[in-house]
Amino acid sequence: MSPEPAGIVVVGASLAGLRGAEALRRGGYAGPLTLVGAEPHRPYDRPPLSKHVLAGALEAGATRLPELAALGAVWRLGHAAIALDRVARAIRLADGTTLAYDKLLVTTGAEARPWPAETGGGLSGIHTLRGRDDAASLRSALVAGPRRVLIVGGGLIGCEAASCLRDLGLSVTLVDPNPTPLAKSLGTHVGAVIAACLRESGAAFRPGTSVQTFEGDDAGRVVRARLADGSAIETDLVIAALGATRATGWLAGAGLMADAGGVTCDAACRARAADGTACPDIYVAGDVARWPIRLYGGRLVSVEHWGNAVEQAAHAARNMLAGPDDQRAYEHLPAFWSNQFGINIKLVGLTAGAESVAVVQGSRASRRFLAVYGRAGRSIAALSFDEARWLPAYTEAILSGGAFPPITDATDQPRIETASPGFPPPRAGAPAARRPEVAHV
Contact set with other proteins (CB under 8 A): 40, 42, 45, 47-48, 52, 56-59, 61-68, 70-75, 77, 306-307, 310, 335-337, 339, 342-344, 346, 368, 386, 388-389, 391-392
Cβ contact 127:237 at 8 Å: yes
C-beta of 75 vs 226, nearer to other proteins: 75
328 sits in which H/E element: none
Residue ranges of E strands in 228-287: 232-234, 237-240, 244-246, 258-259, 262-264, 270-272, 278-284
C-beta of 73 vs 265, nearer to other proteins: 73
Minimum Å gap between C-beta 408 and other proteins is: 24
Please name the residue ranges forming H helices in 322-416: 391-399
C-beta of 40 vs 253, nearer to other proteins: 40
Minimum Å gap between C-beta 78 and other proteins is: 8
3-state secondary structure at position 408: helix
C-beta of 140 vs 231, nearer to other proteins: 140
Residues contacting 196, CB < 8 A, separation 6+:
none
Sign of CA dihedral 18, 19, 20, 21: positive
C-beta of 71 vs 94, nearer to other proteins: 71
C-beta of 236 vs 287, nearer to other proteins: 287
Minimum Å gap between C-beta 142 and other proteins is: 12
Minimum Å gap between C-beta 393 and other proteins is: 12
Minimum Å gap between C-beta 402 and other proteins is: 20
Minimum Å gap between C-beta 435 and other proteins is: 25
3-state secondary structure at position 64: strand
- Alpha-carbon distances, residue 160 vs 55, 174, 307 (angstroms): 10, 11, 19
Q: Is 169 exposed, middle or buried (0-12, 13-18, 19+ CB in 10 A)?
A: exposed
C-beta of 58 vs 223, nearer to other proteins: 58
Measured in Å, how far apart are the chain's first and last C-alpha atoms?
A: 41
**Closest by Cα among 361, 344, 348, 352 to 409:** 361
Minimum Å gap between C-beta 350 and other proteins is: 14
- Alpha-carbon distances, residue 157 vs 193, 338, 352, 402, 440 (angstroms): 17, 9, 19, 31, 9
C-beta of 274 vs 388, nearer to other proteins: 388
Minimum Å gap between C-beta 391 and other proteins is: 8
C-beta of 15 vs 126, nearer to other proteins: 15
C-beta of 137 vs 418, nearer to other proteins: 137
Minimum Å gap between C-beta 344 and other proteins is: 5
- Count of CA atoms in the C-beta half-sphere (13 A) of 156: 25
CA–CA distance, 70 with 351 (Å, rounded to integer): 38
C-beta of 60 vs 192, nearer to other proteins: 60
234 beta partners? 224
CA–CA distance, 365 with 380 (Å, rounded to integer): 24
Rg of the chain taking only CA atoms, in angstroms: 22
Minimum Å gap between C-beta 386 and other proteins is: 4
Strands 222-227 and 232-234, how do they pair?
A: antiparallel
b/e 11-44 (16+ beta carbons within 10 angstroms → b):
bbbbbbbbbbbbbbbeeebeebbbbbbbbebebb
Minimum Å gap between C-beta 141 and other proteins is: 16
Minimum Å gap between C-beta 44 and other proteins is: 9
CA–CA distance, 10 with 224 (Å, rounded to integer): 43
| Prior bond of 207 cis (ω within 30°) | no
319 sits in which H/E element: helix 306-321
C-beta of 159 vs 254, nearer to other proteins: 159
